[in-house]
Structure 1
Amino acid sequence: MADLITWGDFGKVDLRVGTILEVMDFPKARKPAYQLCIDFGELGVLKSSAQITVHYKKENLVGRQIIAVVNFPKKQIADFMSECLVTGFPDENGDIVLSSIERQVPNGTKLM
Structure 2
Amino acid sequence: MKMMQQISWDDFEKVELRIGTIVDAMKFPDARRPAYKLKVDFGELGIKTSSAQITKHYTLSGLIGRQIIGVINFPKKQIGKFMSEFLVTGFADENGDIVLSAVERKVPNGSKLV
| TM-score interval (norm. to shorter) | over 0.9
Q: Distance in 2 between matches of 1:20 and 1:37?
A: 6
Report the equivalent of 1:36: 38
Q: CA deviation at 1:67?
A: 0.2
Q: Distance in 1 between matches of 2:44 and 2:99?
A: 27
Q: Distance in 2 between matches of 1:100 and 1:17?
A: 8
Q: CA deviation at 1:2?
A: 1.6
Q: Distance in 2 between matches of 1:30 and 1:10?
A: 31
SS in 2 for 1:81: strand
Report the equivalent of 2:7: 5
Misfit runs of 4+, over 6 Å: none
What is the RMSD of the two structures over their aligned residues, measured on CA atoms?
A: 0.5
| Number of residue pairs aligned between Structure 1 and Structure 2 | 112
SS in 2 for 1:8: helix
Q: Structure 1: where are the runs of 5+ without partners?
A: none
Greater Cα shift, 36-45 or 1-10: 1-10
TM-score by length of structure 2 reads 0.97
Tell me which amino acid in the other structure corresponds to 2:40: I
Q: Distance in 1 between matches of 2:28 and 2:4?
A: 32
Q: 1:92 aligns with which of 83, 94, 111?
A: 94
Report the equivalent of 2:107: 105
TM-score by length of structure 1 reads 0.99
Tell me which amino acid in the other structure corresponds to 2:8: T
Q: 2:48 aligns with which of 39, 46, 49?
A: 46
Q: Structure 2: where are the runs of 5+ without partners?
A: none
Q: Distance in 2 between matches of 1:107 and 1:27?
A: 29
